[in-house]
Amino acid sequence: MATESVQVTTRKRKTKAEKALEKANKPPINSLADIKTLNDIEFPFVIAHVKSQGAEDKKWLKDLAATTGLTDKNGKARRMSFIEIRKEFAIRYLPHLAPQAKEKKPTMYDLIDEI
């Protein structure tokens, strides 16, 4: 009976050092035109861009960061996360990259009402 060897390929996860090296080799983002995806937006760029825009935009970012009424899953008050700030930044300055709302499917009752 002949046995065949099967080669299994697994995807290697990147180590922290590999991720840090990759990030260090990435060219810096200097303008909105350099941003291709939502994940390219980093906090230092957000701060630098808003500072360069003027007083109205500085006030917008400060008001956004001071947003109250947010709660975590335990009902405890929390501050806005960077991911939420990045989303709002994209909505304001890069609407083509901002997350879009999905179209909702009609419910059973909506379909019955259409009859």
Q: What is the pLDDT along the chain (115 residues), one digit of tens a residue?
A: 556 666 666 777 888 888 777 777 777 777 888 888 888 888 999 999 999 998 999 999 999 988 877 888 888 888 888 999 999 999 999 999 888 888 889 899 998 999 8
DSSP-assigned states of every residue in 15-65 = PHHHHHHHHHHSPPP-SGGG--SGGG--HHHHHHHHHHH-HHHHHHHHHHH
pLDDT of residue 8: 65
Asked if 80 and 64 count as a contact pair (C-beta separation under 8 A), the reply is yes
Rg (C-alpha) for the chain, rounded Å, is: 23
pLDDT of residue 6: 66
Q: For residues 21 and 15, give the distance between their C-alpha atoms in angstroms, rounded to a whole number.
A: 10
pLDDT of residue 101: 81
CA distances to 1, 96, 104 from 38, in Å:
55, 10, 23
Which residues does 74 contact at the CB level (< 8 Å), separation at least 6? none
pLDDT of residue 56: 94
Q: For residues 20 and 47, give the distance between their C-alpha atoms in angstroms, rounded to a whole number.
A: 22
